[in-house]
Structure 1
Amino acid sequence: MAHRSRLMGIVIDCETGDLDAAATFWGKALGLPQGTPYTDEGSHYVDMGHVPGGPHVEVQQVTHPSRVHLDIEADDQDAEAARLEALGAKRIAWVRRWWVMEAPTGQRFCIVKMKNPDVGPPPNVWK
């Protein structure tokens, strides 16, 4: 059965005690307004909005070393994980509502649930 996916966002993971300062830096560095802080299931974020014509950007407070990761949204997360495994990726863990994956080259990324398939660029259709 076909499923759809696309790049959804860029998450800037910051190992910091001052998420506000991290969001201020990244907002100024990327030319984005600092958005509203929020907490989701114990994780702390600042929503920076969308890069003009591009993906959604968030700053996230984490306990692992700082890094940047991509979020891919899919209407069928398991089918997308299987598709990416066939390309050489590995499933690392199911966390709350998303798959944490690792590319063959070592980068971590997440597969999140597609929320608004009719907003933004059309998703890729995979058979």
Structure 2
Amino acid sequence: MTLNWEQVVVHAADPATLGRWWAEALGWVVAYTSDDEFEIRPEADRTPGIDFVRADEVTRHRGRLHLDFRPVDQAAEVARLEALGARRVDIGQGEQPWVVLADPDGNEFCVLAARGGE
């Protein structure tokens, strides 16, 4: 049996707005849209993607899913994401080599240090 990772599903109050934000942040393309769903992918026919799905009530507590990203230049990526509307958040992480950010809907994600601690 083969199991392929298709996508990550994120519940959102406004899937299109949040999906567009993440598409811009990641440099991805829109793969599918409807009134209640907005899917983005690295390329139109490449998975995995992120599927933003409308939720009647989006919880405002720490989520069960957390994405980590490893950039070439952490400081530059953090600055770019903040310019797009991300904000730094404190989840009790203390002094760490990663930066915890939240997207415009409050979903937390980390921007890790470059490989090798660069």
With the shorter chain as reference, the TM-score category is 0.3 to 0.5
Higher strand share: 1
Which has the bigger relative contact order, CA under 8 A and spacing at least 6?
1
Structure with greater helix share of residues? 2
